[in-house]
Structure 1
């Protein structure tokens, strides 16, 4: 267990990794509480504490629950853990949320109050570019400015097409070893291994899978994948042709239209999550 004194070193070492985590910081205490302001802990998605300390079991359960919820929707939280009598005096119940503060019951004999800020740290969304076509090269070049982690997958001889490009590289279309997290996969093989790359892309969990090519080519590949036993739901998720209809012509313009579509898909998903969370919170209010 890492001490609270070294918790920032732990956070620094975990940022950029594939595991989501949350950092909980005690920001205020009233009356007697085990943890004091400034106490910190790193909490994983399964509710376990990777390092640090934020008090005993009386308050810890509420913090762990808030951390898990924060990792699900990507939103930071301020949770106020108070004795039941104090909650009642404010017309509150455990689980209520008001003015951005979530309230929980403190079951400790000390009956103190502890406010904890929970901040999620999620893995970078990952753009996976399959192939070494001019569009693939343009995608790899443009991705870095959008906060996307990049993985390039192409046969060994074609990886040299990406000189000086940051990101990880795979000399195969086997994507099973990709880090967990948001994935946006673009197949831009331009006739060189189309079937193998598309099959690999549709065989892993992804938030977005697109194929760069003509509608006729995409239809033929869909039929081929269906005949090979690819689940219909996966084929329905395939976006082809890739990208928003911007009238793009050049590889750079096509890459831009694809990245725009990825942003659209990603942000729409986040807005739906926020709307569900807000609706759930509003139903809990008295």
Structure 2
């Protein structure tokens, strides 16, 4: 099982996918999950591996999805006595399965570092590439007729500004620092991608001129509004290295804090947001929220299915079904 999980982890890391790793770290028998059991959980709710069945599986899936979104680890305790203690990194649940064992599961997010696409061969571009590599970003430089020796540490150097060479840009940031070398065309190409964060190194006057050009070229107002320019945190930077630090700091802040409100405030969805909605729809199709314990149950493999008021109700364990059968009206209003 460990080898299988290692292969799956490698595959999803290679794709740049976000996922979570759950591991049983404590146990009081009886329970099907044992200390050391582990699984990976994808953003879709798919669980690969083993940490326990019944309500444990559903709880872990539910919490793992939240862990991926928050990018913070969480320790989850599932016991017969339950509990109400809850913090950012800890949560208690009632073990509704009839086995009545206790498990503690540590769930950690795996969020691959984003790829930084630097457009241009300016001094700021070179400094930014060096710093970004040191911060464990994957760096690609795109510039017309660029000498690869100018960026010896970059993972990839492309001699043309063409984003069609990338299979996916869902986890990428673009910084345009051309400084007079086809600024307008480079920014236009960047905004024509699905990348959420596009930064342009320029003065306020130059940035305004570029926005006027983009509007004339047919780029939507919503997309133009998403352009970050001037770019970088205000640290009173003067040197090229200081400007690069301010840009990288803003990128890291955006990545770690998921500042997505700017992309959605104007009423349009990026392809990344659309993908997230599609994943949520897929999750709703494949999972049902157990009305008793409020955790997801796979519709393909539930422990029990009953019909109530003309609708199917899915359960993760015997205990939940027994509780529901005693008083269905107490729970049915909680289903989603």
Q: What TM-score bracket applies, with the shorter chain setting the length?
A: 0.7 to 0.9
The alpha-carbon deviation at position 48 of structure 1 amounts to 0.7
CA separation in 2, counterparts of 1:99 and 1:203? Answer: 38
After superposition, the Cα gap between the structure-2 partners of 1:268 and 1:120, relative to the gap in structure 1 and judged at 3 Å, is closer
The alpha-carbon deviation at position 19 of structure 1 amounts to 0.9
The answer as to 2:140 corresponding to 1:151 is: yes
- Equivalence for 1:38: 36
CA separation in 2, counterparts of 1:152 and 1:23? Answer: 32
Q: What's the TM-score, normalizing by structure 2?
A: 0.68
CA separation in 2, counterparts of 1:57 and 1:196? Answer: 56
Secondary structure, counterpart of 2:109 in structure 1: strand
The answer as to 2:58 corresponding to 1:70 is: no
The answer as to 2:167 corresponding to 1:177 is: yes
- Equivalence for 2:51: 54
CA separation in 2, counterparts of 1:19 and 1:98? Answer: 27
After superposition, the Cα gap between the structure-2 partners of 1:177 and 1:189, relative to the gap in structure 1 and judged at 3 Å, is farther
CA separation in 2, counterparts of 1:139 and 1:120? Answer: 27
Secondary structure, counterpart of 1:80 in structure 2: strand
CA separation in 2, counterparts of 1:99 and 1:236? Answer: 33
Secondary structure, counterpart of 1:158 in structure 2: coil
The answer as to 2:153 corresponding to 1:165 is: yes
- Equivalence for 1:253: 242
After superposition, the Cα gap between the structure-2 partners of 1:82 and 1:203, relative to the gap in structure 1 and judged at 3 Å, is farther
Say which of 204, 212, 217 aligns to 2:193. 204
CA separation in 2, counterparts of 1:131 and 1:221? Answer: 16
- Equivalence for 2:213: 224
1:199-220 CA-partner distances (Å, limit 9, x unpaired): 1222334453221223332211
The 8 Å contact of residues 137 and 161 in structure 1, kept in 2 or not, is answered as no
CA separation in 2, counterparts of 1:261 and 1:80? Answer: 36
Size of the alignment, in residue pairs? 258
- Equivalence for 1:278: none
Q: What's the TM-score, normalizing by structure 1?
A: 0.78
Say which of 89, 92, 105 aligns to 1:103. 92
Secondary structure, counterpart of 1:78 in structure 2: strand
CA separation in 2, counterparts of 1:116 and 1:260? Answer: 33
Greater RCO structure (CA 8 Å; 6+ sep): 1
Structure 2 unaligned segments of length 5 or more: list them: 262-336
